[in-house]
């Protein structure tokens, strides 16, 4: 019996030793990959930060309507926020690449799933950034045009356009991320369909006379002004 | 040279092929007044400029509009001294003028008087534009119209004073679509200068004026009568007009920075000819509407202005927006600095250029309100004095523009949003 116990113990010890011997090189490779990616991340962060500061990116970002990037960093600087984003992206990529080296089924599958998801994630990020730039540009266009047309609710129109574009960009980004695809589409359709219908009803039923008077006044005043003063 | 008309299509002798002076009319769309313009130019050439060999050149700048046919219908067989250059595709005003100038040089003319296509001008005014050129006394003739001080406020508040401060000459209409150019200057602009391309936002008329001034050509003004509505007045809305005109002016500032940085002070230019001295009726303007536009602009656009103007200027605009109509007065120095800040913002592209230029509209209306409220009960001479003060303020504040232009990094606008 003692011999039998000893044999089973030896077999178990051998299995564990073999398992450890198989697993340890993976761990070493994992550590090496994480270390290399960590160094890469630090180098990329420093390099990108210097490049962006060299281009006076913080100033240019505010001109391009990218000042919101600064809100992602404690220092409030878009360049720092982008450098940090790059740093953590490389670190996470390193961790995922390291997991595949462990030759374990679960972590490997998880890493591969994340890798497959990356293009969609990047596309969504681009959509959000472009949507933000476009929203700010259009909002300013509408604001200036509305003020020059002497529309009192210029700010309201501008904010409306800004949020319309932002929500549209958000919905498109979520669509790319495959998050709540049906719900987002439905919610978007219901929301904007509802707004348009509500406005149509409000103008058509409630404010018909007010709108007519307002349009008449605007046309009359435009006609009166244009004949009297030559600006050029 | 492709052309129609009795004298141009087949010149039989050297005498017919050459001219002393040419009256040019670039036509970019159907012009109802083309017949009157030609008749008036013909009288100018035969009566006012008698003894000189003159031609009238119409440059058709738009292919589908059928200008040659229209000229034929209007004038019939009576096409003496008329040259119509048929359209070669759709031409910009710049290309149409270039084509006209090439004909002037080909024909050996001493100068060309360019007339706007919108309405006929009296023959005397055409002669006033052309005579200083054929006499050889001047190279560039700008028009000086008889206008009420409130009329043409955009030119008087921005174009004129900025041109005066930067290029050192007090020209009333630096962007006029009617002017005269001598052969010497045409050779210079066609052969030695880079002609602005179609995509270039440069206003061709202003480009010619600045080229004349910075090239050291002799410049004078021809006295004209009351100004008619020109082709540039047909823009749809005020902010579009401001964007077009002020944008062109700011582009010229960028192009000529090396020249205007060295210019100090300003000089008046000689006047040529006589003009009727009839009183001109003040245009009726609703100043309360203008004031409301400025206040609305301050309320909604101060965040946009804060990206272009320094905080001290925004503070002064805030005070102005809160002022009652009886004490509403925009200081000339404030106005000059504001325009200089916009010029610099345009150069540095602090925001989209179209946004920057259009956001200037309420500020311009504020300046106009200030002028109208101050000059409503005053004689014309008092308003002219006020306009002269505005021009002087632009000259006085020019060091501010130069320092900001040279060291823009010293300035960082503060965001209020």
Contact A225 B289 (CB under 8 A): yes
Burial class (CB within 10 angstroms; exposed 0-12, middle 13-18, buried 19+) of B243? buried
Mean local confidence (pLDDT), B17-25: 85
Contact A232 B241 (CB under 8 A): yes
Contact B362 A152 (CB under 8 A): no
Q: Is the pLDDT of residue A108 over 60?
A: yes
Taking contacts as CB-CB distances below 8 angstroms, the residues of chain B near A138 are none
Instruction: Give me the half-sphere count of Cα atoms (radius 13 Å) on the Cβ side of residue B50.
Output: 2
Q: B384 in contact with A at a CB cutoff of 8 Å?
A: no
Distance from the A109 Cα atom to the nearest Cα atom in chain B, whole angstroms: 47
What pLDDT, in 10s, does the model give residues A29-57?
Answer: 889 999 999 999 999 999 998 888 887 78
How many residues comprise chain A? 232
For residue B274, the SS3 value is coil
Question: Would you state the pLDDT for residue A217?
Answer: 74
Taking contacts as CB-CB distances below 8 angstroms, the residues of chain A near B245 are 232
Q: Is the pLDDT of residue B7 over 60?
A: no
Taking contacts as CB-CB distances below 8 angstroms, the residues of chain B near A137 are 352
Answer CATH for B14-272 from 3.50.50.60, 3.30.565.10, 3.40.50.1100, 3.90.550.10: 3.90.550.10
Task: Please give the residue that has the higher pLDDT: either B11 or B263.
Answer: B263
The whole-chain average pLDDT of chain B stands at 85
Closest B-chain CA to A150: B293
Contact A228 B350 (CB under 8 A): no
Question: Would you state the pLDDT for residue B366?
Answer: 96
Contact B301 A155 (CB under 8 A): no
Contact A140 B351 (CB under 8 A): yes
Q: A145 in contact with B at a CB cutoff of 8 Å?
A: yes
- Both tokens assigned to A92: 């996470």
What pLDDT, in 10s, does the model give residues B252-302?
Answer: 999 899 999 999 999 999 998 887 777 788 788 888 999 999 999 999 999
Mutate to test the interface with A, among B158, B300, B364, B376 (most CBs of A within 10 A): B300
Burial class (CB within 10 angstroms; exposed 0-12, middle 13-18, buried 19+) of A84? middle
Taking contacts as CB-CB distances below 8 angstroms, the residues of chain B near A59 are 412
Q: B284 in contact with A at a CB cutoff of 8 Å?
A: yes
What pTM was computed for the model?
0.81
Q: Is the pLDDT of residue B3 over 50?
A: no
Question: Would you state the pLDDT for residue A79?
Answer: 83
What pLDDT, in 10s, does the model give residues B294-339?
Answer: 999 999 999 999 999 999 999 999 999 999 998 999 999 999 999 9
Q: Is the pLDDT of residue A179 over 60?
A: yes
What pLDDT, in 10s, does the model give residues B334-362?
Answer: 999 999 999 999 999 889 999 999 999 99
Taking contacts as CB-CB distances below 8 angstroms, the residues of chain B near A228 are 283-285
Q: Is the pLDDT of residue B13 over 60?
A: no
Question: Would you state the pLDDT for residue B294?
Answer: 96
Residue B152 has its nearest CB partner, among A141, A224, A231, at: A231
b/e burial code for range B139-175 (CB count within 10 A of at least 16 → b): bbbbbbbbbbbbbbbbbbbbbbbbbbbbbbbbbbbbb
Q: A228 in contact with B at a CB cutoff of 8 Å?
A: yes
Residues 6+ apart with CB under 8 A from B72: none
Question: Would you state the pLDDT for residue B4?
Answer: 40
Give the A window 101-120 contacts with B, CB below 8 Å: none
Q: Where are the domains of chain A?
A: 12-103, 118-179, 183-225
Taking contacts as CB-CB distances below 8 angstroms, the residues of chain A near B362 are 147-148
Q: A152 in contact with B at a CB cutoff of 8 Å?
A: yes
Q: Where are the domains of chain B?
A: 14-272, 287-410
Q: B244 in contact with A at a CB cutoff of 8 Å?
A: no
Bridge partners of B146, per DSSP, are B226
Distance from the B364 Cα atom to the nearest Cα atom in chain A, whole angstroms: 10
Contact A230 B283 (CB under 8 A): yes
The whole-chain average pLDDT of chain A stands at 83
CA B207, B142, B18 angle in degrees (round to 5)?
90
Q: How confident is the model at residue A98 (pLDDT cuts 50, 70, 90)?
A: confident
Q: A224 in contact with B at a CB cutoff of 8 Å?
A: yes
C-beta of residue A91 within 8 angstroms of C-beta of residue A38: yes
Closest A-chain CA to B153: A231
Taking contacts as CB-CB distances below 8 angstroms, the residues of chain B near A145 are 239, 358
C-alpha pair distances (Å), B276 with each of B44, B132, B140, B224, B399: 17, 19, 23, 8, 39
Question: Would you state the pLDDT for residue A221?
Answer: 64
What pLDDT, in 10s, does the model give residues B196-210?
Answer: 876 666 688 999 999
Lowest mean pLDDT, pick from B181-190, B210-219, B233-242:
B233-242
Contact A143 B241 (CB under 8 A): no
| Highest-pLDDT range among A116-120, B90-94, B154-158 | B154-158
Lowest mean pLDDT, pick from A64-78, A133-147, B148-162:
A64-78
Q: B43 in contact with A at a CB cutoff of 8 Å?
A: no
Distance from the A207 Cα atom to the nearest Cα atom in chain B, whole angstroms: 24
Contact B286 A224 (CB under 8 A): yes
Residue A232 has its nearest CB partner, among B150, B152, B286, at: B152
Mutate to test the interface with A, among B147, B177, B358 (most CBs of A within 10 A): B358
Closest A-chain CA to B358: A144
| Highest-pLDDT range among A8-22, A86-100, A148-162, B44-58 | A148-162
Residue B304 has its nearest CB partner, among A62, A63, A144, at: A144
Q: Is the pLDDT of residue B393 over 80?
A: yes
Contact A147 B155 (CB under 8 A): no
Contact A230 B237 (CB under 8 A): no
Question: Would you state the pLDDT for residue B5?
Answer: 41
Give the B window 108-137 contacts with A, CB below 8 Å: none
Residue B361 has its nearest CB partner, among A63, A148, A221, at: A148
C-beta of residue B308 within 8 angstroms of C-beta of residue B345: yes
ipTM for this model: 0.86
Contact B352 A152 (CB under 8 A): no
Q: Is the pLDDT of residue B160 over 90?
A: yes
Q: Is the pLDDT of residue B381 over 50?
A: yes
Question: Would you state the pLDDT for residue B200?
Answer: 65
Contact B352 A140 (CB under 8 A): yes
CA A154, B323, B345 angle in degrees (round to 5)?
55
Q: Is the pLDDT of residue B169 over 60?
A: yes
Question: Would you state the pLDDT for residue B408?
Answer: 82
Distance from the B240 Cα atom to the nearest Cα atom in chain A, whole angstroms: 10
Q: B377 in contact with A at a CB cutoff of 8 Å?
A: no
Closest to B181 measured CA to CA, from B112, B271, B125, B131 = B112
Residues 6+ apart with CB under 8 A from B387: B149, B156, B371
Task: Please give the residue that has the higher pLDDT: either A121 or A55.
Answer: A121
Contact B355 A150 (CB under 8 A): no
Lowest mean pLDDT, pick from B61-70, B128-137, B237-246:
B61-70
Torsion of CA A31, A36, A41, A46, to 10 degrees: 130
| Highest-pLDDT range among A140-154, A188-202, B114-128, B399-413 | A140-154
């Amino acid at each position: 019996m003692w011999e039998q116990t000893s044999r089973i113990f030896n077999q178990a010890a051998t299995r564990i030793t073999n398992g450890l011997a198989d697993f340890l090189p993976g761990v070493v490779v994992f550590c090496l990959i994480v270390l290399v990616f960590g160094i890469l991340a630090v180098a990329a962060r420093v390099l990108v930060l210097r490049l962006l500061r060299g281009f006076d990116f913080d100033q240019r970002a505010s001109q391009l309507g990218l000042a919101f990037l600064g809100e992602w960093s404690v220092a409030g600087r878009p360049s720092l926020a982008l450098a940090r984003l790059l740093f953590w992206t490389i670190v996470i990529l390193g961790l995922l690449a390291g997991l595949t080296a462990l030759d374990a089924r679960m972590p490997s599958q998880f890493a591969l799933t994340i890798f497959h998801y990356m293009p969609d994630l990047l596309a969504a990020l681009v959509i959000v950034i472009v949507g933000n730039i476009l929203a700010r540009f259009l909002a300013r266009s509408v604001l200036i045009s509305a003020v020059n047309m002497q529309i009192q609710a210029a700010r309201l129109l501008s904010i409306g356009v800004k949020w319309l574009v932002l929500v549209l960009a958000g919905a498109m980004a979520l669509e790319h991320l495959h998050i709540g695809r049906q719900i987002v589409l439905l919610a978007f359709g219901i929301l904007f369909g509802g707004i348009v219908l509500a406005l149509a009803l409000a103008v058509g039923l409630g404010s018909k006379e007010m709108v007519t008077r307002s349009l008449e006044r605007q046309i009359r005043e435009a006609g009166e002004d244009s004949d009297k003063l030559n600006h050029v | 040279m492709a052309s129609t008309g009795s004298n141009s299509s087949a010149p039989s002798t050297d005498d017919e092929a050459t001219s002393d002076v040419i009256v040019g009319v670039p036509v970019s769309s159907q012009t109802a007044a083309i017949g009157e313009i030609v008749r008036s130019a013909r009288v100018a050439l035969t009566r006012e400029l008698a003894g000189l060999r003159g031609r009238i050149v119409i440059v058709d700048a738009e292919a589908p509009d059928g200008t040659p046919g229209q000229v034929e219908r209007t004038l019939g067989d009576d096409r003496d001294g008329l040259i119509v250059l048929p359209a070669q595709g759709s031409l910009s005003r710049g290309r149409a003028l270039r084509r006209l100038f090439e004909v002037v040089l080909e024909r050996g003319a001493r100068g060309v008087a360019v007339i706007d296509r919108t309405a006929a001008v009296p023959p005397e005014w055409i002669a006033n534009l052309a005579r200083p050129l054929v006499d050889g006394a001047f190279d560039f003739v700008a028009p000086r119209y008889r206008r009420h001080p409130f009329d043409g406020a955009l030119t008087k508040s921005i174009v004129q004073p900025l041109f005066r401060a930067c290029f050192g000459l007090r020209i009333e209409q630096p962007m006029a679509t009617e002017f005269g150019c001598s052969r010497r200057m045409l050779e210079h602009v066609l052969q030695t200068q880079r002609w602005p391309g179609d995509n270039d936002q440069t206003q061709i008329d202003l480009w010619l004026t600045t080229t004349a001034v910075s090239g050291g050509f002799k410049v004078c003004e021809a006295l004209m009568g009351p100004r008619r509505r020109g082709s540039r007045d047909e823009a749809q809305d005020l902010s579009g007009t401001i964007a077009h005109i002020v944008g062109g002016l700011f582009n010229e500032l960028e192009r000529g920075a090396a020249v205007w940085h060295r210019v100090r002070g300003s000089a008046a230019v000689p006047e040529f000819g006589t003009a009727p001295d009839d009183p001109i009726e003040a245009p009726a303007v609703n100043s309360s509407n203008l004031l409301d536009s400025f206040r609305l602009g301050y309320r909604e656009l101060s965040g946009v202005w804060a990206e272009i103007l320094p905080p001290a200027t925004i503070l002064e605009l805030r005070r102005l927006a809160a002022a009652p109509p009886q004490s509403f007065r925009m200081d000339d120095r404030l106005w000059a600095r504001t325009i200089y800040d916009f010029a610099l913002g345009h150069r540095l592209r602090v925001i989209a250029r179209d946004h920057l230029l259009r956001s200037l509209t309420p500020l311009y209306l504020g300046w106009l309100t200030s002028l109208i409220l101050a000059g409503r009960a005053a004689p014309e001479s008092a308003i002219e004095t006020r306009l002269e003060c505005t021009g002087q303020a632009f000259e006085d504040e020019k060091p501010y523009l130069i320092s900001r232009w040279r060291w823009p990094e010293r300035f960082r606008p503060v965001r209020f949003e």
